[in-house]
Amino acid sequence: MDAVINVTVIDREGNTHELEGPTDMNMNLMELCKAYELPVEGTCGGMALCASCHMYVLTVHDLPEPSEEEEDMLDQAFFVEANSRLGCQIRLTPELDGITVRLAPVGE
Amino acid sequence: MIETDILIIGAGPVGLFTVFEAGLLKMRCHLIDSLPQPGGQLTEIYPKKPIYDIPGYPSVLAGELVKNLMEQIAPFQPGFTLGERAETLEKLDDGSFQLITNKGTVHRAPVVAIAGGLGCFEPRKPPIDNIDEFEDHGVDYIIKDPEVYRDKRVVVAGGGDSALDWTIFLAELAKEVVLVHRRTGFRGAPDSVEKVEELARSGRIHLITEAQVVGLSGNGRLDAVVIDQKDKGEFLHPTDHFVPLFGLSPKLGPIGEWGLQISNNAIEVDTFDYSTNIPGIYAIGDINSYPGKLKLILCGFHEATLMCQSAFKVVNPDKKLSFKYTTVTGVTGFETA
């Protein structure tokens, strides 16, 4: 299987970015966004402890359910929707090919 | 006024270790941090998380590492200004620096080491368009004086310990307390969760779950919040105060206004000694930037060590520095004054 998947990210200004995500580097969506210099802070480094990689999943993909830690952290995020996730908790796998996410608004 | 050799901004792991390396060279240090306790992110965000890349520790809890660092630097008797934010920094005529905190504490030193990590921790502000208008006019991110809420109507938002604790506290004091939370479950201490649910059952507080505050209204002073609740949609709820409690997040803050070369929220340094564009000011740890930079605690320790060698020349312009190993000379702390 191809080790690269296509990921679409819509930034906070509504611009669409087409990213290529490697699935063999143990990378997550937060890290991929950072690698493309999209405005995702990832303050805590991916421990589900800061909510700065809050995003909405717009396509239907078979994602693992959020952990209790992720839910707890989403409590500290704003404008949380049913499709809200922390990018750092979504690992890039071949099943995610074609996924589209939108970055959630951030507070000041 | 507090006078020292090296003024360290940020009491995270790198700031703390600087005290040790400076102490070996007989330089005194004073640390300033906006948080009320030392440790920075390690204490504030992830005290119970194990760290695996500290040399010599196969695994160490972040909180434990901070405790060990405090023990390691104790012989050098560092001073602390905690719970205060470094606000202004100016160079005096004698070449030393004067730093004043947001609470007015004055510090002076010939060397300033900025070990500020990601900046200072400040309350997260909900991204509601007109929220700035109502700050101090009904919207508070921190409860400073609970008496303000006596016999008033208060809407608290959030699902963590501080939201729960303040809801419980305000239930006794305020005329009406509404807690708005995005889901039905709460994180936070089980005792507090139970207490809040009990208060809701007895009608002492109102719990609005699967909901968020999405708007504010009022004329110069808050008079209502807009709550968006699942299944119910948006509705207006009259209130005197809105207290969003969504934890803390780091902001670069006043450091950005000190004339330092900054790119992407980080201070550019020379890797020779981690000096900034202003002689006498150094930047170490997560807050600096240079080609090949990695934001790792162990890299910050290295940076602190090299920085102290350079700082020695600023603090002691007439002395010569000879490098010594701790295995040879041991660690001799300062005498208690």
Radius of gyration of the CA atoms of chain A, in A:
13
Does residue A58 register a pLDDT over 60? yes
Ramachandran class of B53: left when φ > 0, alpha when ψ lies in -120 to 50, beta otherwise:
alpha
CA atoms within 13 Å, Cβ hemisphere of B51: 23
| Per-residue pLDDT at B336 | 65
- Say how many C-beta atoms besides its own lie within 10 A of residue B318's C-beta: 5
| Tokens at B10, concatenated | 């940020």
| Per-residue pLDDT at A62 | 86
In one letter, which amino acid is A107? G
Burial of B230-247, coded b for 16+ CB within 10 Å and e otherwise, reads eeeeeeebebbbbbbbbb
**Chain B closest CA to A97's CA: distance in Å?**
30
Q: Report the relative pairing of strands B6-9 and B29-33 from DSSP bridges.
A: parallel
Nearest CA in chain B to A68: B187
pTM of structure: 0.82
| Tokens at B111, concatenated | 């060397």
Tokens 């930047």 appear where? B283
Tokens 């090296």 appear where? B6
Given A44, A50, A105, which is nearest B127 (Cβ)?
A105
**Chain A closest CA to B288's CA: distance in Å?**
15
Cβ–Cβ under 8 Å, residues B289 and B268 = yes
Summary mean pLDDT of chain B = 94
Ordered domains of chain A (ranges, CATH):
4-103 (3.10.20.30)
CA B301 to CA B316: how far, in whole Å?
22
Does residue B122 register a pLDDT over 90? no
pLDDT digits (tens, 9 = 90+) for B52-91: 999 999 999 999 999 999 999 999 999 999 999 999 999 9
Give the model's confidence band at B337: pLDDT under 50 very low, under 70 low, under 90 confident, else very high.
low
Chain B contact residues (CB < 8 Å to A):
41, 45-46, 49, 118, 124-127, 158-160, 181-183, 185-187, 212, 214, 246-247, 249-250, 295
Q: Which residues of chain A does B212 touch, with a Cβ-Cβ cutoff of 8 Å? A: 78-80
Mean pLDDT of B227-252: 93
**Chain B closest CA to A29's CA: distance in Å?**
19
**Chain B closest CA to A20's CA: distance in Å?**
23
Q: Report the relative pairing of strands B97-101 and B262-263 from DSSP bridges.
A: unpaired
Does residue B135 register a pLDDT over 90? yes
Q: Give the DSSP per-residue string, B183-206.
A: SS---S-HHHHHHHHHHHHTTSSE
| Per-residue pLDDT at A29 | 96
Which residue, B32, B31, B243, is CA-closest to B155? B243
Does residue A1 register a pLDDT over 60? no
pLDDT digits (tens, 9 = 90+) for A66-103: 998 899 889 888 888 889 999 999 999 999 999 999 99
Ordered domains of chain B (ranges, CATH):
2-122+249-329 (3.50.50.60), 126-246 (3.50.50.60)
Q: How many A×B Cβ pairs under 8 Å?
A: 59
pLDDT digits (tens, 9 = 90+) for B19-61: 999 999 999 999 999 999 999 999 988 899 999 999 999 999 9
Looking only at Cα atoms, what is the longest distance across chain A? 42
Q: Going by C-beta distance under 8 Å and a sequence separation of 6 or more, which residues neighbour residue B56?
A: none
Establish whether this prediction's ipTM goes over 0.90: no
Chain A contact residues (CB < 8 Å to B):
43-45, 47, 49-50, 52, 68, 71-72, 74-80, 105-108
Q: Is A82 exposed, middle or buried (0-12, 13-18, 19+ CB in 10 A)?
A: exposed
| Per-residue pLDDT at B324 | 85
Cβ–Cβ under 8 Å, residues B158 and A76 = yes
